[in-house]
Structure 1
Amino acid sequence: MMIRRLLHYCSPRARRLVIVELSLVVVAAVLQGIAFLLLVPLLRSLFIGDLDTSRGWLIAVGGTAAGYVAASWFASQIGMKASTVVLDSLLERLGDSVVSLPVSWFSTDRTGLITGVATQGAMFVSTMPYAILRQILAGFIAPGTVLLGMYFFDWRLALTMTVMVPIIAIGYRWLSRAIGRGDKAHSVAVAEASNRVVEFARAQPTLRTAGHDSIADRLVEQALQDQHDQYRGVVITGGSAIAVFAGLVQLSITALLVVGAVLATGGTVDIATLIALLVLGVRFNEPIVAAGDLGGGVAVAKTTIDQLDELAAVPRLPEPEHPATPADFGIEFQGVTFSYNGAPVLRELSFTAPTGAMTAVVGPSGSGKTTITKLIARFYDPDAGTVFIGGVPVPELGTDVIERAVAPVFQDVYLFDDTILNNIWIGGPDLPRDEVISAATRARVDEIVERLPGGWDARVGEGGSNLSGGERQRISIARALLKDAPVVLLDEATSALDIGNEIAIGQAIDSIRTGRTLIVVAHRLQTIMTADRIIMLDGEGGIRESGSHAELLAAGGAYARYWRERVDATGWQLTRHD
């Protein structure tokens, strides 16, 4: 079962290598069992002094042992190669799974889970056929061969050993399950601890202002303590299970010795055969005990396979067999309802954002402004209703078409720990350097470059930590310009920006809007008043008003009040600064 699940995640080449490796392991284990069985007639002939017969049996043992060595050597060589290929397969399947997951799956922090699978988990599973399964198969197949062969010498001793097989099997299954449960809980604790440590590292500037003994310190400490407790539980449970299993195996040896002694006392078995069979009985148990020790390793590997299964089982957004082509790049919402975990954000929302125009979305916090942009980018599908791009329902376009057509610029911009230029180049990796710089200059990134040592090759730090929020957003806008997508989604979060960044981002918006359908979650007064169309949300999942700035002011309704409040608030802030 475990082997079949592993092969499911292997590439064709990895699958072939693992099958060949394990086949050779089986052959080697059978040959080993036969070699031990041949010791019975060999020892019996030596015991009675029949040297000529002993010589023939010795040659047979030597030939079988030579076959065992050859099969084992080839199995080990192929096994080492298979481990590398299996690791590549697992990481490739993990990568394919991650990029096909709906973006909504990443709405909670999955860093610890993905990191655990991609590092220790994948590495452990890839070495399992060579380091664990090989020894487990040998630990059971060789004794199984010995057990079958014992029936040819003395069925009573063989039957004694056979009676113990179900007991040993039940013990092994219990051992694996006990360790598996503990490792699964430990894996969850490791993922949580990883998330907390990453969170702790990223939030250092904020945490240092909070002083020592902040809640983040306690959360990290609690997560690490939980990981320690779970690991201790794995060690205690695993150790106890292995000890019980070893006791069951030793019980079979005791049973064999008792039955053998009774048979020898009764004279129904000769001493030479009894000694040889007792030696085989001991050899029967030793590899089973070793296999029991390694059985926990299979349970640990199963945890990673379970996690890969869970990733594969996450529902994907439906994709069309033949993606449609949009007539243009206008956006339309038709009766769209959407909720997060059952809490409605949008209720039967309907509006149109004309192609080639800028539509500003305004409204109170939590009214669904950012959700609208994420539905257009198809991070989610609506619970009800339809989102159209160019007159085509988004699900009929498919993810590839939408990714090419839509360039999102959200508040939380993530930059890779690379140079400024390379972080922009992601928007058009096939374009020449001068076009990248041209797009970056239109987004006013050149102003950032001028003050940094290294210029365009200055590193931004992990997550863009060397830059301010406004500077990171400028780089994100430059990516969108470079991508040259016909639809741009911009969450224009300017509330925490300094005046320089606010002006720069405003100019970048002016640069990006030409010839594109631009949907802006607008905060700046300048952006709002220059939009071709304004949609004001009511905070209850619907639209309160829509129209141009002039039309809405003339109507004297909710938008006009909102506008006056914003103007007054801005004027008050400026007065205070003066």
Structure 2
Amino acid sequence: MNRFKKWFHTITFGETKKYAALTLWNFLDSFVVTIPYAVMLLSIYLFLIPLAQPGEALPENRLWILCGILLAQIIVYYFIRRRTYIAICVGFAGTAKIARISMGEHLRRLSMGFFGRRDAGDLSTVLLRDYTEVENLGSGLIPQISVILIRLTLSVVVLSVFNWRMMLAVLLVIPLSLPFAFASYKKMGRISGELLAAQQDAASGILEYVGGIQTLKAFNMAGKQFETLKSSFSKQHRHSVGMELAAAPVGMIGRFVLNCGIGVVMLAGAWLLTRGELPPFYYIAFLLLSLNIYEPIMILFGFIADFARTNRSALRIDELKSEQTLSEAAENAVPANMNIEFKNVSFSYGNQEVLHNLTLRFPEKSITALVGPSGSGKSTITRLAARFWDATGGEITLGGIPVRQMKADGLLSYISMVFQDVYLFHDTIEANIRMGKPDATMDEIMEAAKTAACHDFIMALPDRYQTIVGEGGSTLSGGEKQRISIARALLKDAPVVLLDEATASLDPENEVLIQQAISALVEEKTVIVIAHRLQSVCNADQIIVLENGEAKELGSHEQLLSQDGLYARLWEEQSRAGSWKIVRNAS
């Protein structure tokens, strides 16, 4: 029972009261639709009166009354159908919209580790296809099924009053058709899982193919990689056909068994009629109304494939909603200053620990550079400071307040980030810069762009600040994207700045301008900068040298060189690399 409640809660997006109202309107809609059947039966009864009682006149007045009932039914049905349509298309659609927004809020509170281990195609399948499946089932199929069951129950009760033996004849074939339904549902439940997996693979393949098309073309692999994508489409097609084949026993044998019920009713009625135990009108009524009983059951059988597929979608939504979010304080604590401290912090990616009992201090209004070999934990430290993840051990504080005790939005309001891998949204350049300060004026946006040395190239574009950039900023160069991200950070003007090799994608011509922009960005800020080129952080207030998740050295540039340790070796290696040039080997 609890399992059913959980499932029902999922397909109604938690709005069970709205769902009950939707079902009620569907029932009224269905009830009004059945009125013509009753009018038809009464009309047949009235037409039979002169035949059953010769000399008796046809009751025309009653027939006119029935015509009036049909006219009233048309008018009433219009208003009920309109209200039902609104309840489905507006009421429940609004509920589905709120449910999607709620899932978006849930995803926003998940750690970045979750997105690292989940495929983008998988998430897009859940948010788009699975929610659509559940919405269609919840807004259409379930209310219809509820109405069908109610109508079926009422029909059985009413007809049983007229003749219980004929009612047994009507119901006889229904249990015989159920095994085919159960067998089909079980098979489709298994195939639906395989179909969803195939759809996820296809979605992931499309994203990967489109995102990597430049690399594929460069290595002449576009055609070969498309064969892999085509294979995933074929797999999806194969499982889709399998779903239809699994539904065949219900669609064919189940319907055949139910149609045989008409013959059973005819034979049973004829036998009772010849024995004088069934009035002719009742016989006609059972023949007509048995169709009204079997048809809803056939419709239910047609829903089995939808149930199997949607049940799998509901489970995937529940699985995503059960992912553990980062804890969040009820109220946003305000830090006294912008000092950042790591106190005995450890962190693991799965079973691999990448930071080991790390204790660091990043003083307010100072520049701290993180240097070290690749994989030493530099980027992890900046992500932990912004609480993209929670440390697996120890504590991180901002202004003396543990970041776990701050609301996520509150914490991020104090932080600006400029990372090496810049992502711009498929929107205007203005909108991408405005993300730093949603209520900024156009003058403020342009001033930030000028400071970040990107105003000139923006003004050279056809639509200037209204130019649409491609997905991820694909229509711009790496340096142009980087400058826009710096403009965004300048506009935000947060007291803490995290820089991850912000000049890595820039050409020498603009590097000096960008360095000036960064200098303006970090002025009077608490800055943590990740540097691969040591020359760019020589003037940092302190440099932390990391290796294998541990702080090996700490000090100024001069102090670290004098220690003749890891930093000195890195400096020497980069100095040698600076003189590297391409040389053609003599043949």
Normalising by structure 1, we get a TM-score of: 0.87
Matched AA of 1:218:
E
SS of 1:431 mapped into structure 2 = coil
Q: Share of identical aligned residues, percent?
A: 32
**1:561 pairs with 2:569:** yes
RMSD of aligned Cα (Å): 3.5
Q: Quick one: distance in 2 between partners of 1:415 and 1:11?
A: 40
Q: Residues 184-333 of structure 1 correspond to what in structure 2 (within 5 A)?
A: 184-212=193-221, 216-264=225-273, 266-333=275-342
Which residue in 1 is equivalent to 2:395?
386
**1:356 pairs with 2:360:** no
Q: Quick one: distance in 1 between partners of 2:70 and 2:24?
A: 20
In structure 2, the CA distance between the partners of 1:61 and 1:350, relative to structure 1 (3 Å rule), is farther
Which residue in 2 is equivalent to 1:530?
539
Which residue in 1 is equivalent to 2:491?
482
Contact preservation (8 Å) 2:339, 2:362: yes
Q: Quick one: distance in 2 between partners of 1:445 and 1:491?
A: 19
Shift of 1:500: 3.2
Unaligned runs of 5+ in 2: none
Q: Quick one: distance in 2 between partners of 1:455 and 1:94?
A: 34
In structure 2, the CA distance between the partners of 1:282 and 1:524, relative to structure 1 (3 Å rule), is same
In structure 2, the CA distance between the partners of 1:532 and 1:135, relative to structure 1 (3 Å rule), is same
Shift of 1:6: 3.8
Q: Quick one: distance in 2 between partners of 1:547 and 1:62?
A: 97
Which residue in 1 is equivalent to 2:528?
519
Contact preservation (8 Å) 2:490, 2:521: yes
Shift of 1:462: 2.4
Contact preservation (8 Å) 1:330, 1:354: yes
What do the CA deviations read for 1:210-252 (whole angstroms, capped 9, x no partner)? 1145553233222222222222222222334322332342344
Q: Quick one: distance in 2 between partners of 1:114 and 1:80?
A: 31
Q: Quick one: distance in 2 between partners of 1:158 and 1:366?
A: 76
Matched AA of 1:94:
R
Q: Quick one: distance in 2 between partners of 1:444 and 1:56?
A: 89
Q: Quick one: distance in 2 between partners of 1:215 and 1:321?
A: 53
**1:449 pairs with 2:449:** no
Contact preservation (8 Å) 1:103, 1:379: yes
**1:156 pairs with 2:150:** no
Which stretch shifts more, 401-410 or 113-122?
113-122
In structure 2, the CA distance between the partners of 1:349 and 1:382, relative to structure 1 (3 Å rule), is same
Which residue in 1 is equivalent to 2:81?
76
Q: Quick one: distance in 2 between partners of 1:573 and 1:265?
A: 108
Q: Quick one: distance in 2 between partners of 1:129 and 1:56?
A: 45
SS of 2:579 mapped into structure 1 = helix
Matched AA of 1:310:
E
Which residue in 1 is equivalent to 2:346?
337
In structure 2, the CA distance between the partners of 1:517 and 1:146, relative to structure 1 (3 Å rule), is same
Q: Residues 110-149 of structure 1 correspond to what in structure 2 (within 5 A)?
A: 110-116=119-125, 119=128, 122=131, 126=135, 128=137, 132-133=141-142, 135-149=144-158
In structure 2, the CA distance between the partners of 1:500 and 1:45, relative to structure 1 (3 Å rule), is farther
Normalising by structure 2, we get a TM-score of: 0.86
In structure 2, the CA distance between the partners of 1:419 and 1:153, relative to structure 1 (3 Å rule), is closer
What do the CA deviations read for 1:549-574 (whole angstroms, capped 9, x no partner)? 22211111111111211222123359
Match of 2:404 among 347, 372, 395: 395
Matched AA of 2:519:
D
Match of 1:428 among 428, 437, 440: 437
Q: Quick one: distance in 2 between partners of 1:130 and 1:94?
A: 15
Q: Quick one: distance in 1 between partners of 2:451 and 2:472?
A: 23
Unaligned runs of 5+ in 1: none
What do the CA deviations read for 1:64-100 (whole angstroms, capped 9, x no partner)? 7667655643342123323134323323321332233
Q: Residues 31-70 of structure 1 correspond to what in structure 2 (within 5 A)?
A: 45=49, 48-49=52-53, 69=74
Q: Quick one: distance in 2 between partners of 1:557 and 1:320?
A: 43
Which stretch shifts more, 513-522 or 113-122?
113-122
Matched AA of 1:426:
M
Shift of 1:258: 4.3
Matched AA of 2:102:
D
SS of 1:380 mapped into structure 2 = coil
What do the CA deviations read for 1:232-287 (whole angstroms, capped 9, x no partner)? 22222233432233234234434434433443455543444333323322332123
Shift of 1:350: 1.8
In structure 2, the CA distance between the partners of 1:563 and 1:361, relative to structure 1 (3 Å rule), is same
In structure 2, the CA distance between the partners of 1:495 and 1:416, relative to structure 1 (3 Å rule), is closer
Which stretch shifts more, 79-88 or 55-64?
55-64
Contact preservation (8 Å) 2:92, 2:139: no
SS of 1:195 mapped into structure 2 = helix
Q: Quick one: distance in 1 between partners of 2:123 and 2:347?
A: 28
Contact preservation (8 Å) 1:140, 1:291: no
Matched AA of 2:294:
N
Contact preservation (8 Å) 2:247, 2:305: yes
Q: Residues 99-118 of structure 1 correspond to what in structure 2 (within 5 A)?
A: 99-101=105-107, 102-104=110-112, 105-108=114-117, 110-116=119-125
